[in-house]
Amino acid sequence: MNTVTITMVKQPQLFLEADLITPDQFAGKSIEAIGAIEISEGKIKYPLASFAKIEGVSGATAAETKIVLNGDLTRVKRIGQQMTAGEIIINSNVDMYTGGWMKGGKITVNGNADSFTGIAMAGGELTINGNCQNHVGSAYRGDWRGMTGGVLRVTGNVGNDIGTFMRGGTIIVGGDAFIHVHTHGEGGTIIVKGNIQARVGGQSVKGDIFVNGKIDFMMPGYKYVEDVEKDVDGVKAVYAHYVGDLGERHPEAKGQKVFTNLYLKK
């Protein structure tokens, strides 16, 4: 795998939109061609090279291309958007939409990420070694097809709307979540190892939610079934199994109603 290293040398006055920083776009391009890739600040389009130093060499295909981003990327949005393969490592905080609509490959952020991280993600691995804001692994506005695949891991805390309209894949949150976890979910798995204030699994149709900490306010629509032992992200523990949201529609399979499962660690 070949590596392209990008080091920010200049900060934008506003924010940069860098949806073309993906292995798919970099693959097979020379350093000069990568430097000419457009990033925009508001309505002005700049070549990437005007904000960053670019070194290394790209692979022939996306899968063979790794991108390492250094310097301060706090004001850079959309890195890794729609990527299908390859790898991105970001050694900084990043702004919104990191790994949005990604289909494959791997992104690691060594820092915090803002909102809409992994929005409508369909595959691949997205790891944030830090905190995220809101709408992690959520759907785009109005779309009933949210996250459909892949693994999205946040080691720190997250805000609201985690996995809204989720249909597949896994979200693992190491810390706490605020409100609205798996809202409108119709599949997939969310694991929150810390605490959640409220609204877990509201309007959720089906899927699995694991909470290791406590939930301040349970949704009334969840009903306790039994205690079960579960292996969650490699750790076995006993969980109280609830089903819900009893206020939502649910499909039937083999004559049985399928509910969302909420497992709350004992």
Partner 1 sequence: MQEVIKHVACPYCGACCDDLEVTVDDGKIIEVKNACIIGTEIYHHASREGRVGTPRRRQPDGTYKDITYEEAIDFTAKMLIKAKKPLIFGFGSTNCEGMAAAGRVAEDAGAVLDNCASICHGSSFLAIFDTGYPSCTLGEVKNRADVVIYWGSNPAHAHPRHMSRYGIFPRGFFTGKGARGRKVIVIDPRYTDTARCANQFLQVQQGHDYELFDAFRMVMHGYAADVPAIVAGVPKEKILEACDVIKAGRYVHIFFGMGLCHSDGRNHNVDIAINLVRDVNEYTKCTIMAMRGHYNIAGPGIVWAWQFGFPYCIDLTKGSVAHMNPGETSSVDLANRGEIDAFINIGTDAGAHFPIRAFEKIGGAGIPMVTIDPSVNMAATVSDVHIPVAIVGVETGGICYRMDNVPIQYRAVVKPFNGILTDEQLFDKIYERMQELKNAGIECDGTWDYATPLADVRPIKEVYQ
Partner 2 sequence: MTEYIIKNGCVIDPTQGINGQKMDICIKDGKIVDKVSNSAKVIDATGKTVMAGGVDIHSHVAGPKVDAGRLFRPEDKLFKSPNRKSNLRMEMGFSVPSVSKTGYDYARMGYGFVMEAAMPPLEAAHVHEEIRDTPIIDEAAMPVLGNNWFLLEYFKNHEIENAGAYASWILNATRGYALKCVNPGGTEAWGWGLNCITIHDKVPYFDITPAEIVKGLIETNEYLRLPHSIHVHANNLGNPGNYTTTLDTLKLVEGYKANNDFGREQVMHHTHLQFHCYGGDSFKSSSFESKSKEVMDYVNKQKGLTIDTGNVTLDETTTMTADGPFEYHLTHLNHLKWTNVDIELETAAGIVPFIYDPKTYIAGAQWAIGLELPLFAKDKDRCFITTDHPNAGPFWRYPRIYKWLLSANARNDLIKNELKYGDKVLDTTYIGELSDKEISLYELAQMTRSGVAKALGLSNLYGSLKTGMNANVAVYDIDPENLPSDPEQYETAFGNVFAFFKDGVLCIENHDIVNYSMPKKTVWVNSIVPENKQVERDIRDKFLHSYTVDLENYAVQEEHVHNPYAIKVDITE
Residues of this chain that bind partner 1 (CB under 8 A): 13-15, 40-44, 77, 96, 115-116, 134-135, 140-142, 144, 160, 165, 179-180, 183-184, 198-199, 202-203, 217, 219-221, 223, 245-249
Position 252 contacts partner 2 (CB under 8 A): no
Position 254 contacts partner 2 (CB under 8 A): no
Q: What is the pattern of x (binds partner 2, CB under 8 A) and - over residues 133-172? A: -------xxxxx----------------------------
Look at residue 125 and give the partner it binds from partner 1, partner 2, none, a contact being a CB closer than 5 to 8 Å depending on partner kind.
none
Look at residue 40 and give the partner it binds from partner 1, partner 2, none, a contact being a CB closer than 5 to 8 Å depending on partner kind.
partner 1
- Spell out where 155-259 has E strands: 170-173, 177-181, 186-192, 196-200, 206-211, 215-217, 223-232, 235-244, 252-253, 256-257
Nearest-angstrom CA–CA distance, 16 and 25: 17
Strands across the sheet containing 38-41: 44-47, 38-41, 16-17, 76-77
Residue 106: φ, ψ to 5° = -145, 135
Strand (E) or helix (H) holding 25: helix 23-26
Q: Are strands 256-257 and 252-253 parallel, antiparallel or unpaired?
A: antiparallel
Nearer to partner 1, 182 or 193 (CB): 182
Shortest spacing between CB 236 and partner 1, in angstroms? 30
Position 15 contacts partner 2 (CB under 8 A): no
Nearer to partner 2, 8 or 120 (CB): 120
Position 43 contacts partner 2 (CB under 8 A): no
Say which amino acid occupies 173.
V
Position 38 contacts partner 2 (CB under 8 A): no
Residue 41 near residue 15 (C-beta atoms within 8 A): yes
Residue with tokens 């497992």: 263
Question: Which positions lie near partner 2, rule CB under 8 A?
Answer: 101, 140-144, 249
